[in-house]
A = this chain, B = another copy of it.
Amino acid sequence: MELQEVLHMNGGEGDTSYAKNSSYNQLVLTKVKPVLEQCIRELLRANLPNINKCIKVADLGCASGPNTLLTVRDIVQSIDKVGQEEKNELEHPTIQIFLNDLFQNDFNSVFKLLPSFYRKLEKENGRKIGSCLISAMPGSFYGRLFPEESMHFLHSCYSVHWLSQVPSGLVTELGISANKGIIYSSKASPPPVQKAYLDQFTKDFTTFLRIHSEELLSGGRMLLTCICKGDESDGLNTIDLLERAINDLVVEGLLEEEKLDSFNLPLYTPSLEVVKCIVEEEGSFEILYLETFKVRYDAGFSIDDDYQVRSLFQVYCDEHVKAAYVTFFFRAVFEPILASHFGEAIMPDLFHRFAKNAAKALRLGNGFYNSLIISLAKKPEKSDV
Binding site for B on A (CB under 8 A): 4, 53-54, 94, 96, 98, 103-108, 111-112, 114-115, 129-131, 133-139, 143-148, 150
Contact = CB atoms under 8 A, between A and B. Distances in A.
Contact of A107 (B108, B134, B139, B146): B108
Copy tally for this chain in the complex stands at: 2
Nearest to A112: B103
B53 A147 contact: yes
Contact of A54 (B96, B104, B129, B147): B147
A115 B103 contact: yes
Given A4-B115, A137-B133, A106 B108 contact: yes
A151 to B, nearest CB: 12
Nearest to A135: B137
Contacts of A137: 133, 135-136
Contacts of A133: 137, 144-147
A143 B115 contact: no
A148 B54 contact: yes
B115 A111 contact: no
Nearest to A56: B147
Contacts of A150: 54
A131 B147 CA distance: 8
B129 A143 contact: yes
B130 A107 contact: no
A148 B53 contact: yes
17 contacts: A53-B147, A53-B148, A54-B148, A54-B150, A96-B146, A98-B135, A105-B111, A106-B108, A107-B107, A107-B108, A111-B138, A114-B138, A133-B145, A133-B147, A134-B138, A135-B137, A136-B136
A62 to B, nearest CB: 13
Contacts of A145: 133
A351 B240 CA distance: 57
Contacts of A98: 135
Contacts of A112: 103-104
Contact of A144 (B104, B130, B148): B130
B130 A143 contact: yes
A139 B132 CA distance: 12
Nearest to A94: B147
A62 B12 CA distance: 23
Given A104-B111, A131-B144, A135-B137, 9 more contacts: A53-B148, A54-B148, A94-B148, A96-B147, A104-B112, A108-B108, A114-B138, A114-B139, A133-B147
Contacts of A4: 115
A357 to B, nearest CB: 34
Contacts of A114: 103, 138-139
Contacts of A130: 143-144
Contacts of A96: 146-147
**4 pairs of A and B residues whose beta carbons are closest in the complex:** A130-B144, A54-B147, A135-B137, A111-B138
Contacts of A115: 4, 103
A53 B94 CA distance: 23
Contacts of A111: 103-105, 107, 136, 138
A237 to B, nearest CB: 32
A184 B308 CA distance: 53
A135 B136 CA distance: 6
Most buried by B among A111, A112, A148: A111
A91 to B, nearest CB: 13
Most buried by B among A53, A54, A139: A139
Nearest to A109: B108
Contacts of A135: 98, 135-138
A131 B214 CA distance: 13
